[in-house]
Structure 1
Amino acid sequence: MANEDLERRGPKNRGNNEGWSSWLIPVFVIANLVLFIMTMYVNNCPKKNTGLQGECVAGGLGRFSFQPLRENPLFGPSSTTLENLGALDWNKVVEGHQGWRLVSSIWLHAGVIHLLANMLSLLFIGIGLEQQFGFVRIGVIYLLSGIGGSVLSCLFVRGSISVGASGALFGLLGTMLSELITNWTVYSNKVSALLTLVFIITINLAVGILPHVDNFAHIGGFLTGFLLGFVLLLRPQFGWEERRNAESKYKAYQYVLLLVSLVLVIIGFTVSLVMLFRGVDGLQHCNWCQYLSCVPSSRWSCGKN
């Protein structure tokens, strides 16, 4: 990915700082794996499967076997199990006053394929970021991005449930982009890194226009992480260590981006949460926004949220 380009900083800026050890991201991965195993234990396909969609997959796993592929092609539990354990559902969040689902849904996954794709991406993106900036800042960005994705998803998606860490992962992608922008003077090969990141982000968002993909969670997570990167991931300008008595530690534009982004994050979360718990349907105020998550074609239909 873009990590290699993004880590090529000038040698003077490295100094003796070897960075942090990464432990939080591996803990997040383990937590997701454990929760998926617990989800499958609760699901108990052999006992609860009605047989209308076929037989349980990998029946030799006993109660850990998967739902029939017609019901869940990702090798995972039933939607009922996910809903009971905390999946994102507009009716339960708003009508049922279960706001905790905005957080719990981040830790659930629809199947083995979904889980592996997200966890491999988390390891690939997150470990490098944690080594550079520490577990506190990256942990905050990950969690708030996940919540931001859940909030935007809930504002625009009704009639279906949503689970997964994709919003948080897109937040890490967003923060990589904003970190590169705000610390522009620190990096070598900056144009190459920027183009690589933009390409990766564009491809991932483009995949979100396919049916059954919650692109609103991706967009919400990305925007949250993008803004938080300006707030939390500032680096001193290049060469500041050698000239610390002669000039400011940070550039003026870094302070401007920090303040503007902080205000936008606070306003964004406040307005979105107020709209959500007042029962506002985002699509009624932005009809074309439906195409951000699914573009109908002759090969598939998007259905209605």
Structure 2
Amino acid sequence: MGKRDVEAGVGGSFYHYTPPPPPIYPPPRESYLSWLVPIIFVVDVALFALTMYENNCPESLDEPAHTCVFFDHLGRFSFEPLHNNPLLGPKTTTLQNMGGLRVELVQEGEWWRLLSCLWLHAGLIHLIANMISLLFMGIRLEEEFGFWRVGPLYVLSGLGGSLMSCVNVLRKQRVGVISVGASGALFGLLGAMLSELITNWTIYANKCSAILSLIVVIALNLAVGLIPGVDSSAHIGGFVSGFLLGFVLLMRPQFGYVSSKYLPPGYKQKSRHKCYQYFFLLLALIALILWYGYGFAELYKSIDTTDRIDLV
């Protein structure tokens, strides 16, 4: 119903009364059930079980079989002795055979290790810590934005973490290092949560408390990288990748936006996004190209240096 003028007489004078436009009743947001994150959880757990099966500590260990942790209860699935792997997991050669990230093998053409390492874990403690983080952050993000945004965010953040891990290994010239774990992808989810808060600033009510609580969580997780043996470069690479991807993949309509099909005549529709959101998106796309380009360039530069033949 459009606007309508109504004439009314009061004391011999007339005035025009324009009733307000009818209220807008857009349909409620449909609930979304997370399914991708639970699948990632199941795949990670299943691959860890497969890794322990392939490891077969009692058969492959040079020491007596009873030195395998929980040998009496787990048999073939028992863990390596704690002096070999304090995280309750397999030996490093098994992780490499299963697809762990090793720079030398990536340089030889096994590029898929940049992604396969995301689904492997060095031990039961490593797996539990990452899966708690995955369920805590991933389900919330998937329910908010759907699998078609969270899926690419997870994989591309993990790729960024793998690239930075390779760059760090090459710089320090640490030969034979095996890197596994979903930490790069999980830190990408953390970074995306921060950029999502920034680019969708207008829809948050308690802005300061939201950003402060998120910064505390990020700081605590980044502090984990200070523990010896933890690949902090993968954490940082994943976080930066996810932070940039959040501006691209997690942009939401500004506060007060309603689709035109739910607007009655007489309403002026707001623009879907604010100018600063498009500005952040453009900057993030440029930064992402430079960020991934830098990682691959360092990797290929190392390949050129390694394969070069000097004539004397």
TM-score scaled to structure 1, two decimals?
0.84
- Report the Cα offset of residue 84 of structure 1: 1.3
**Preserved CA contact (<8 Å) 1:118 1:165:** yes
Q: Which aligned pairs between 1:52-63 and structure 2 lie closer than 5 A?
A: 55-60=67-72, 61-63=74-76
**1:191 counterpart = 2:208:** yes
Following the alignment from structure 1 to structure 2, what is the Cα–Cα distance between the partners of residues 100 and 22? 27
Local SS of the residue matching 1:279: helix
Aligned to 1:127: 139
1:27 to 27, 35, 39: 39
Aligned to 1:99: 111
**Relative to structure 1, is the Cα distance of residues 33 and 111 closer, same or farther in structure 2, using a 3 angstrom cutoff?**
same
Aligned to 1:303: none
Following the alignment from structure 1 to structure 2, what is the Cα–Cα distance between the partners of residues 154 and 86? 15
Following the alignment from structure 2 to structure 1, what is the Cα–Cα distance between the partners of residues 25 and 101? 43
**Relative to structure 1, is the Cα distance of residues 29 and 258 closer, same or farther in structure 2, using a 3 angstrom cutoff?**
same
2:89 to 55, 76, 80: 76
**Preserved CA contact (<8 Å) 1:13 1:238:** no
Aligned to 1:138: 150
- Report the Cα offset of residue 207 of structure 1: 2.0
**Preserved CA contact (<8 Å) 2:44 2:120:** yes
* Matched residue type, 1:80: T
**Relative to structure 1, is the Cα distance of residues 274 and 13 closer, same or farther in structure 2, using a 3 angstrom cutoff?**
farther
**Which structure carries more relative contact order (alpha carbon 8 Å, separation 6+)?**
1
Aligned to 1:36: 48
Aligned to 1:262: 285
Bigger Rg over Cα: 2
Aligned to 1:221: 238
Deviation sequence 1:250-286 (CA, Å, 0-9, x none): 11000000011011112211221121122179xxxxx
* Matched residue type, 2:188: G
Aligned to 2:310: none
Aligned to 2:222: 205
Aligned to 2:249: 232
Following the alignment from structure 2 to structure 1, what is the Cα–Cα distance between the partners of residues 163 and 283? 21
- Report the Cα offset of residue 52 of structure 1: 8.7
Instruction: State which drifts further: 53-62 or 13-22.
Output: 13-22
Aligned residues: 269
Q: Which structure 2 residue ranges, 5 or more long, are not aligned?
A: 1-23, 305-312
**Relative to structure 1, is the Cα distance of residues 231 and 111 closer, same or farther in structure 2, using a 3 angstrom cutoff?**
same
Instruction: State which drifts further: 241-250 or 163-172.
Output: 241-250
Aligned to 1:302: none
**Relative to structure 1, is the Cα distance of residues 280 and 254 closer, same or farther in structure 2, using a 3 angstrom cutoff?**
farther
**1:173 counterpart = 2:190:** yes
**Relative to structure 1, is the Cα distance of residues 64 and 54 closer, same or farther in structure 2, using a 3 angstrom cutoff?**
closer
**Preserved CA contact (<8 Å) 2:58 2:64:** no
**Preserved CA contact (<8 Å) 2:254 2:274:** yes
* Matched residue type, 1:186: I
Q: Which runs of 4+ in 1 moved over 2 A?
A: 12-15, 242-247
Q: Which aligned pairs between 1:156-167 and structure 2 lie closer than 5 A?
A: 156-157=168-169, 158-159=174-175, 160-167=177-184
TM-score scaled to structure 2, two decimals?
0.82
Give identity over the alignment, percent.
Answer: 54
- Report the Cα offset of residue 43 of structure 1: 0.2
**Preserved CA contact (<8 Å) 1:53 1:68:** no
- Report the Cα offset of residue 210 of structure 1: 2.1
Following the alignment from structure 1 to structure 2, what is the Cα–Cα distance between the partners of residues 156 and 212? 14
Aligned to 2:16: none
Following the alignment from structure 1 to structure 2, what is the Cα–Cα distance between the partners of residues 15 and 145? 34
Q: Which structure 1 residue ranges, 5 or more long, are not aligned?
A: 1-11, 282-305
**Preserved CA contact (<8 Å) 1:155 1:276:** yes
* Matched residue type, 1:38: L
Following the alignment from structure 1 to structure 2, what is the Cα–Cα distance between the partners of residues 147 and 13? 43
Instruction: State which drifts further: 269-278 or 230-239.
Output: 269-278
Aligned to 1:248: 271
**1:150 counterpart = 2:173:** no
Following the alignment from structure 2 to structure 1, what is the Cα–Cα distance between the partners of residues 296 and 228? 26
**Preserved CA contact (<8 Å) 2:57 2:65:** no
**Preserved CA contact (<8 Å) 2:188 2:240:** yes
Aligned to 2:61: 49
Aligned to 1:5: none
Following the alignment from structure 1 to structure 2, what is the Cα–Cα distance between the partners of residues 99 and 279? 14
